Chains A and B, each alone.
Chain A
Amino acid sequence: MAMGIAGISLLLLVAYPLSLLLLHSLEVGGRPTVSSYLKAFAERQNLVALGNSLYVGVAVTLLAVLIGVGTAWLIIRTDIPFKRGFRGLIFLTFITPPYIGAIGWIQLLGRAGYLNSALMRAFNLSAPPIELYSLEGIIAVMAIYLYPLVFWATAGVLERTDPALEDAAALSGGTRWRVFTTITLPLASPNILSAAILVFIHTISCFAVAAALGLPTRHYVLATRIYAALSHYDVQMACALSVVLVLLSGGAFLLQRVLLGEGRYTTITSRSRRPEPLNLGRWRLPATIFLAAFTFLTAILPLLTILSTSLLKAWGLPPALGNLSWGNYLAILQDRLIGSALRNSLIFASLAASAGALLSFVVAYISARTRLPGRGFLDLMATFPLAIPGPVLATAMILAFMNPPFVLYNTPWIIILAYIVAFTPFALRNLSGSLRAIDPALEEVAWLSGASWLRGLKDILLPLLRPEILTSWILVFLMGLREIPLSLMLHTQGTETVGVVLFSFWETIGVEALSALAVIVMLVTLAGHLILGKLGGRLEVG
């Protein structure tokens, strides 16, 4: 029963739209052909965008690995001070929605940004010295918000590695550096590699940052080309480009799954003994200053900028006490559009969170507790959307739900369904591990005690899983609240969300009110993650 419903929903929500996307890209006027692809890549701009996607993806991945491994090593393995503080700042970077970060960076480094203006004044320059609206700008911002993924993965291994392995190497005559590069790093490499692939997927999937920093100077990546094609109602081209992009991200996704499945992730025995931290000696102070500057710059400065803008009477005024007011916050509370967007986002995100938690529970239950045929496929269908970039999913949803038999286009439902598809994988990942850790005998005893299957579920399994169900709900809710590409490409008048307002109403509502809205989203995100931390949930955000 439950299997049937879950199966049908996933077929309808994942398999059906994706197959339509593929079919649509392979036919013109009812005849099978590859002309869509030929036409798409005959346009130089699309070819350049493909190259840009790969360039940005690889560059961000390399940068993120460099920064992530470096910071993890400094914080976990050396005697650098303020470890907790640095970890806190990296965590703040981790949970900051990249687009909100980008808003901060634009205010700092845009043409009239605080930092660029200050530099121009200081060095008497005629043009802003830093060009944020470029591929390199996109790379820098993406790397800042994705390196924490590599940091957590590496830090996890470095903390768990048995020091005896390193001691043995040191006793064999290796120097600290040699031991680190020949023993420690190889041990951590499967986890680092997995995180790196995740960074790559996120980067080539990312729409909002690439659009905010690339579109003004016409620097395109595939994700933004799909958006452009759809804006021009060129569904054919959007389909072809979507298939190409999802081949890239899906390929990376399957590669990661194979790596994970190979069992190379041997859990490294945990010992109470922590390795002796490396004495940095005279490098301690410079390293501390460097790390402090880096984390302040990446974690705090952009958020501080947004906060101060949100409190300013007008953009450009110096942040003196007399220029500050709550006016922007009062204004957005009274604004009809923002009010409705906030309401929409709350409703859509809650509905998606509830459906996502339910769906992921059913899928997790079926794959962990039953021997039903097809459960592997069910799990794959529920997880695969991790690798579907927002613009691709939006295109597929439009194809699936614009025409009969399912006409949902121009209703809130298409957005809600898209949220469910996109965010259920995160809830599932959060739930399935915990479900597998619960001994099936606990339920079986309930049945033998006279409880029906449903009663056992209610009395035993659900109470035991409650923290994970709650954290899954919050995770999906937070992701829905700040979502941009799906809402942007699927909304209509009246179904605008917070993401849509943040992305496309700069001019209408002004940068001050926009910053106030960004601050609110950031505060809700922070609060949500504090609750997650209290519940002991895993803190994974896309």
Chain B
Amino acid sequence: MSSAQIRNLTKRFGETIALEDFDLEVERGEILVLLGPSGCGKTTLLRSVAGLERPDAGEIYLEKELVFSRERDISVPPYKRRVGMVFQNYALWPHMNVFDNIAYPLKVKGFSKGETRRRVGEILALVHLEGLERRYPHELSGGQQQRAALARALVMEPRLLLLDEPLSNLDARLREELREELKRIQREIGITMIYVTHDQAEAMAIADRIALMERGRLIQTGPPRELYEHPKTEFVARFIGMTNLLPCRVVEAEGRKVILLPNGAAAEVGDLDGLSEGTAVLSVRPEDIVLSRDGGGVEGKIEEVVYLGNVVYYRLSGGGVDLRVQAVPGKPFKARERVYFRIRRATAISRP
């Protein structure tokens, strides 16, 4: 069953198009990550779901309730949408302590003092902030502020939790720790989350499903692995992880598919996803290129070596193109060394 449904949403700011004819469905209990470069409209989408932005066209359903429809002139105000939100800078109220910040949604709803104290206590335990109730926001570390903001968003048991770049103000180590915390909390209470980020590694780590956006449009949705292994467009292939894009021709020879590289060299591909014969652009991940010294495959030359300890990156010229290759540093190749390469798998992409 879907927790949120977005249909044909369009939003313009003057001349700029933030969202164009946008469709998306969020399943109950999943973490959906909206991923895309800055300015792609992901925050606008999040704010539209929250009711903080008024789209120019389209509809939004939360569970079965129609909360926004331009055509039918329906716009449920934010305070009636039962949606929680965590902002990039946490937006804790500086004039209230942690307890009052978290208790505010309950106070507005008119909960009794005892019930409020019980619920705040529970949520503080969930986010591991026990004992800090009397502190004011400026007395908390960045990570603690983020936990308090999360607690405030969760305390009213919203039907949907929106997170807008919630970890981007934290340093790398803390970011990782809080990301795991978020996943744990999500699993414990089973809430649906829409999570906005521009960081693909963060998206891969936390998402059940990623919705990749570009210039107000949805480009591809799917689990992280699907986007990585079967990118539909060049943009997806480039944005999710590192890749090599090879313009080439696919031909059938003796019942097997072979690709012809720009300089005419023929290469076999172990696993060719999509496309049959014809011209294509292939996305080849750096780890899917296998190098050897003994002559199997296409000839090439090592141009550059970047040694990172656990992996080695090579820049390779061969077949009329430049390739990035990732390898384990067993017996590393040297710069200017002659090598042979094979392509283990590739995905055919039609240029957008």
Contact = CB atoms under 8 A, between A and B. Distances in A.
A459 interface: yes
Interface string A419-453: 00000000000000000000101101111111111
B295 interface: no
B313 interface: no
Interface string A227-258: 00000000000000000000000000000000
Interface stretch (B57-65, B104-112, B208-216): B104-112
B50 interface: yes
A441 B91 contact: yes
Given A444-B52, A444-B91, A449 B77 contact: no
B83 interface: yes
Given A441-B89, A442-B91, A460-B93, A447 B77 contact: yes
Nearest to A466: B95
A455 interface: yes
Nearest to A455: B108
Interface string A337-373: 0000000000000000000000000000000000000
Contact of B78 (A439, A441, A448, A460): A448
Contacts of B85: 444-445, 448
Nearest to B81: A448
B156 interface: yes
Contact of B104 (A452, A453, A459): A459
Interface in A451-467: 451-453, 455, 459-460, 463-464
Nearest to B84: A448
Nearest to B94: A464
Interface string B58-81: 000000000000000000011111
B340 interface: no
Interface string B97-130: 0000000110011000000000000000000000
A448 B79 contact: yes
Contacts of B89: 439, 441
Interface in B2-37: none
A466 to B, nearest CB: 9
B333 interface: no
Contacts of A463: 95
B301 interface: no
A464 B91 CA distance: 13
Given A460-B93, A464-B94, A445 B87 contact: yes
B198 interface: no
B290 to A, nearest CB: 50
Contacts of A439: 89, 91
B217 interface: no
B91 A449 contact: no
A455 B91 CA distance: 17
Contacts of A446: 93, 104
Nearest to B80: A450
B108 A450 contact: yes
Contacts of B285: none
B152 interface: yes
Residues of B in contact with A, size category? 20 to 34
B108 A451 contact: yes
A441 B87 contact: yes
A448 B50 contact: yes
A451 B108 CA distance: 6
A463 B95 CA distance: 8
Contact of A451 (B50, B52, B79, B153): B79
Nearest to B100: A459
Name the residue in B51, B105, B108 with the highest tally of chain A Cβ atoms < 10 Å from its Cβ: B108
Interface string A178-191: 00000000000000
Contacts of A442: 91, 93
A450 B94 contact: no
Contacts of A448: 50, 52, 78-79, 81, 83-85, 153
Given A441-B87, A447-B79, A464 B95 contact: yes
B84 to A, nearest CB: 7
A450 B91 contact: no
A255 B85 CA distance: 44
A459 B156 CA distance: 18
A464 B52 CA distance: 21
Interface in B121-179: 152-153, 156
Contacts of A441: 87, 89, 91
Nearest to A450: B108
A441 B52 CA distance: 10
B95 A447 contact: no
A464 B51 CA distance: 24
Name the residue in A441, A448, A463, A464 with the highest tally of chain B Cβ atoms < 10 Å from its Cβ: A448
A366 B94 CA distance: 23
A444 B43 CA distance: 14
A460 B89 CA distance: 17
A455 B104 CA distance: 11
A450 B84 contact: no
A455 B105 CA distance: 12
Contact of A449 (B51, B52, B87, B108): B108
A449 B77 CA distance: 12
B246 to A, nearest CB: 45
Contacts of B80: 450
B20 to A, nearest CB: 20
Given A439-B91, A445-B87, A448-B85, 17 more contacts: A441-B87, A441-B91, A444-B52, A444-B87, A445-B85, A445-B91, A445-B93, A445-B152, A447-B51, A448-B153, A450-B105, A450-B109, A450-B156, A451-B104, A451-B108, A452-B77, A463-B95
16 contacts: A444-B52, A444-B87, A444-B91, A445-B87, A446-B93, A447-B78, A448-B78, A448-B81, A448-B83, A448-B153, A449-B152, A449-B156, A450-B79, A453-B77, A464-B93, A464-B94
Interface of A: 439, 441-442, 444-453, 455, 459-460, 463-464
